[in-house]
Amino acid sequence: MAARLEPEQVQLLEEMIEAERDVPREQRRWYHIGLDQADYLQGPGGKREVVYSDLEELALRGLIRISNGDCVVTAEGRAFYAEMKRQAGEPTENVETEVHRYLDSESFRAAYPGAYERWSEAERELWGDSENALTTIGHMAREAMQRFASEAVQRYKPEVVDPDITKVNRRLGAVIAKALPDLPDARAEVLMALGNYSEAAVDLVQRQEHGEQKQGNPLEWTDGRRVVLTVAVTMFEIATALEQTQPPQT
């Protein structure tokens, strides 16, 4: 379907969906306004000029529905958008692409299968259209961090480790501490900083999971993206650092 759409038509669908991210479902509606020789869509984020034939083409493909001047993105349109974004590798770009590629690698998936499973589910949810997506992403990301810590403990076998799987920072700290004595100072500082980074990631995930509000502001789509990316970077940095410092224990 993507090959049959013109780039401007794909861009219009993207703009409509992305403008709706942080508004309630009942407000996700657009209104066609025809003025003289120009056409406009009025909706979330304001008014934008459009080519009406682009709207007609999107409607013909079933990606939007037009009725009495109302334009609504359909479930098929959102599914099309989600698949397009997944194929494009978003939301990771540049350095983030390297992180994504590493997590998708066979070596990471073999070493941390549980963490990868839950993180990839959170990423897929990011591009979905569930009203509960943000708290669901938080729950999945929290489990990804817990499984990552547990699988790191199993892989590197520190002598003293907190048995409580919810104590992610302590468990990762035990793994990192085991590597510290044999490391140069610079590398040791990096690993300790990664431990602090993981703590921030866990705090972020917990806020997301419980749907907490800060200063009266509700969670938004960008919060979900931030959680997914932060957990990915945390796992990437700690896993690659440990690989370079000590072999896994059998």
Q: What is the pLDDT of residue 116?
A: 96
Tell me if 84 is assigned to some domain: no
Q: Residue 97 has which token pair?
A: 């692409």
* Residues 24, 233: Cα–Cα separation, whole Å: 30
Q: What is the pLDDT of residue 96?
A: 75
If asked whether residues 64 and 126 sit together in one domain, one would say no
If asked whether residues 72 and 96 sit together in one domain, one would say no
Q: Which of 8-12, 25-29, 103-107, 239-243 has the lowest mean pLDDT?
A: 25-29
Q: Which of 49, 48, 72 is nearest to 62 (CA)?
A: 72
* Residues 167, 235: Cα–Cα separation, whole Å: 16
Q: Which of 180, 181, 179, 122 is nearest to 147 (CA)?
A: 122
If asked whether residues 183 and 148 sit together in one domain, one would say yes
Tell me if 159 is assigned to some domain: yes
Q: Residue 180 has which token pair?
A: 């510290």
* Residues 248, 30: Cα–Cα separation, whole Å: 55
Query: In which element (H, E) is residue 48 found?
Result: strand 46-50
Q: Which amino acid is at 8?
A: E
If asked whether residues 13 and 97 sit together in one domain, one would say no
Tell me if 85 is assigned to some domain: no
If asked whether residues 65 and 108 sit together in one domain, one would say no
142 contact partners, CB below 8 Å, separation of at least 6: 202, 205, 206, 208, 209
pTM value? Answer: 0.63
Residue 117 has, within 13 A of its CA and on its CB side, a CA count of 9
Q: What is the pLDDT of residue 2?
A: 46
If asked whether residues 179 and 57 sit together in one domain, one would say no
pLDDT in tens, 25-75: 777 888 888 877 788 888 887 788 888 899 999 999 999 999 888 898 998
Q: Which of 98, 99, 106, 138 is nearest to 121 (CA)?
A: 138
Burial 194-228 (b: 16+ CB within 10 A, else e): bbeebbebbebbbbbbeeeeeeeeebebebbbebb
If asked whether residues 184 and 99 sit together in one domain, one would say yes
pLDDT in tens, 118-176: 999 998 888 776 556 778 888 898 899 999 999 999 999 999 999 999 999 899 989 98
Q: What is the pLDDT of residue 91?
A: 47
If asked whether residues 100 and 75 sit together in one domain, one would say no
Please give the residue range of the domain that contains residue 21: 2-79
* Residues 204, 207: Cα–Cα separation, whole Å: 5
pLDDT band at 22 (very low <50, low <70, confident <90, very high): low
Q: Which of 226, 237, 23, 214 is nearest to 122 (CA)?
A: 226
Most confident among 13-22, 88-97, 158-167, 189-198 (mean pLDDT): 158-167
Tell me if 146 is assigned to some domain: yes
pLDDT band at 3 (very low <50, low <70, confident <90, very high): very low
pLDDT higher at 188 or 57 = 57
If asked whether residues 94 and 178 sit together in one domain, one would say yes
If asked whether residues 115 and 140 sit together in one domain, one would say yes
pLDDT in tens, 92-114: 455 677 788 889 888 899 999 99
If asked whether residues 69 and 109 sit together in one domain, one would say no
3-state secondary structure of 246: coil
Q: Does pLDDT of 215 surpass 60?
A: no
If asked whether residues 208 and 161 sit together in one domain, one would say yes
Q: What is the DSSP letter of 219?
A: P
How far apart, in Å, do the first and last CA atoms of the chain sit?
Answer: 49
pLDDT in tens, 71-91: 989 988 888 888 887 766 544
Query: In which element (H, E) is residue 109 found?
Result: helix 106-111
Q: What is the pLDDT of residue 88?
A: 66
